[in-house]
Structure 1
Amino acid sequence: PEIETQILELYLSDKDITQQEIAKSVNCDQSNVGRKLKAIAKKFNYSESSLDYQEYLVKIFSQYKPDLVDKKIIEHYNFYPVFMPDKPEEPDSPFYIERYQIRRCSVESQCYQEIERPGSLVRIKAPNKMGKTSLIKKIQDKANENNYISQYLKFNLLIEDSNVSSVNNFIKGFNKNLKSRFPDVSEGPDWDDNNAKISCTKDLKALLLNLQKNLVLILDEVDEIFQYPEISKDFFAMLRHWYEESNNVKIWRNLRMVIAYSTEYHGTLDIYQSPFNVGLPIELKEFEKEEVIRLILLHQLDPKIVTDLMSMV
């Protein structure tokens, strides 16, 4: 019930708050506050033979949902969070679980199959902390296993004043970043500062001709440029052009692109110039209950406590 959640959140948010103050905030009798807190504790296997119910609640939430607990309370009781991953899983991590968008074929398998197709494009949309970067690592690992060349570019590193001052400057900065990954490859055609899209396209074609191998280009956090309409419009049109070129020029079939982002693109792109309506769309949503339980068991946590927490907060 909503009032239970309100009482719990108030209790955990302030070390010095009293039950009288909580009762006043949620407009209920003071006697109800203690009863409801105790009832919540019992949902999480509270036994009166152990800690008192208030301390037990602090322990459970400090360990499993510390973002709801006032730091002073955690320090006072000396309860600390259980280990949970705070960074992307490595490709061979035993804690990585495969995700499913369609039955019988994991998201990972779909991505692996797609990057093996000439001139392919994979679009990964996922909120932060939903496994996007872990999936990218798996794709990159598969590309390397296939003896492809893979390059990962994170767009937050490209957002500098000098780069975002104009479309040409941004594309030039992007091109420079990409070329720096291939120090042994000779310089491409002369750069035209007045038409960066054409120059960048010529450079990439020259790179593909030089490599003579499949190149998986992974562009992460491309939503960083959504806030720059002129830049994003031209840059994404360039990506779409590269994708389409695989139908016309054989060497472009060696390029496979993965673009990843957290939010939907709401800019004004012609449907024939957008990379967001072609290729394989992958959307990572919040974990299903079954996936959460698998993660919990892998991390040797208490599944009942965690699933009860999910239903409550």
Structure 2
Amino acid sequence: MNQEIFDHIYCNLSDNDKNIIQLRLSGKKYQEIAQSMSFDQSSVGRKLKSIAKKFKYSSESNLEWNEYLVQIFTQYKPTFVIHELQEDYGFHPVIMPGRPEKIDSPFYIERHRIKRCTIESECYEAIEQPGSLVRIKAPSRMGKTSLMKRIQDKANKNNYFPVYLRFDTLIEPDNINNVNNFLKAFNKNIKSQLPDVSYGLSWDDNNAKISCTQAFKELLIYLKKNVVLLLDEVNEIFNYPEISKNFFAMLRSWYEESNNSEIWENLRMVIAYSTEYH
């Protein structure tokens, strides 16, 4: 049984069947249903069992037919079933997640890549390495942002400075018309999440990558702590070749600088993007 099959069966029920099942799931007793529908009370149970069979109920099921009806309607049409019936039979509607899951969400399942080791634990270990870079790529709605939030939480617990930035928030007309404006917006968003820093550096519109790099270096010097830069939905800039080329070239230079400079070792980057765009 799935939602499509359930909906098809329900739509093909007679009006009488629909009325009976709705009355029963709203908590009405057999006598009340019989009076409302002008039926003999003894026939109500037979009619409900017949409806259950239309929804693929089998006598081989572990449930009684009345339990089965409550279960499938709780799952596929929960607004029909009063809370008391759900409680009586121990059934509760399952609300599937449609957005990033909270840290303590029971819906979040850690991913095992090798025995006794999860992708989450690999990411947690990676951000503890100086100058590290983690790439997270997967199709849309596969939990990338939920994973990013857990890495952010781990960074907080490690007493690092996590900076989380969604790139769909940067895709605005004023930001994507040239590289300089985009990097200015990127730099501004980062600064807004960190302690107030007084910049003595003036921005050179003709050398945006250099200005952005110098500004971030000053941040690292000022903070004197590890910074975890979490960049989510970076696929949003893939449609802007000039911006993406310059932006990723800048990030690559930051990553490579960690081999030559202790201050850049304090930067750890986590980049997430959807494979549909790659």
- TM-score, normalized by the shorter chain, greater than 0.5: yes
Mapping of residues 272-311 of structure 1, within 5 Å: none
Mapping of residues 69-148 of structure 1, within 5 Å: 77-78=80-81, 81-93=93-105, 96-148=108-160
- The count of corresponding residues between Structure 1 and Structure 2 is 232
Q: Distance in 1 between matches of 2:149 and 2:232?
A: 11
Q: Distance in 1 between matches of 2:5 and 2:100?
A: 32
SS in 2 for 1:50: helix
Aligned-pair CA distance for 1:195: 2.1
Work out whether residues 99 and 106 of structure 1, in 8 Å CA contact, stay in contact via their aligned partners in 2: yes
Mapping of residues 1-313 of structure 1, within 5 Å: 9=4, 12-13=7-8, 16-17=11-12, 38=54, 40-42=56-58, 45=61, 49-50=65-66, 56=69, 60=72, 63-64=74-75, 66=76, 77-78=80-81, 81-93=93-105, 96-266=108-278
Aligned-pair CA distance for 1:129: 3.4
Aligned-pair CA distance for 1:81: 3.7
> Relative to 1, partners in 2 of residues 1:182 and 1:191: Cα closer, same or farther, differing over 3 Å?
same
Work out whether residues 11 and 17 of structure 1, in 8 Å CA contact, stay in contact via their aligned partners in 2: no
> Relative to 1, partners in 2 of residues 1:116 and 1:46: Cα closer, same or farther, differing over 3 Å?
same
Deviations 1:130-179 (A, max 9, x none): 22222222211211111111111111111111111112211111111112
> Relative to 1, partners in 2 of residues 1:48 and 1:100: Cα closer, same or farther, differing over 3 Å?
closer
Give the structure, 1 or 2, with the largest relative contact order (CA under 8 Å, sep 6 or more). 1
What is the TM-score normalised by the length of structure 2? 0.71
Aligned-pair CA distance for 1:83: 3.6
Q: Distance in 2 between matches of 1:256 and 1:42?
A: 57
Q: Distance in 2 between matches of 1:178 and 1:43?
A: 62
Aligned-pair CA distance for 1:233: 1.5
Deviations 1:244-285 (A, max 9, x none): 11112221100000111122554xxxxxxxxxxxxxxxxxxx
Instruction: List runs of 5+ in structure 1 lacking aligned partners.
Output: 20-33, 67-72, 267-313
Aligned-pair CA distance for 1:48: 6.9
State percent identity of aligned pairs: 59
Larger radius of gyration: 2
Query: AA paired with 2:156?
Result: N
Aligned-pair CA distance for 1:10: 6.1
Q: Distance in 1 between matches of 2:229 and 2:66?
A: 56
What is the TM-score normalised by the length of structure 1? 0.64
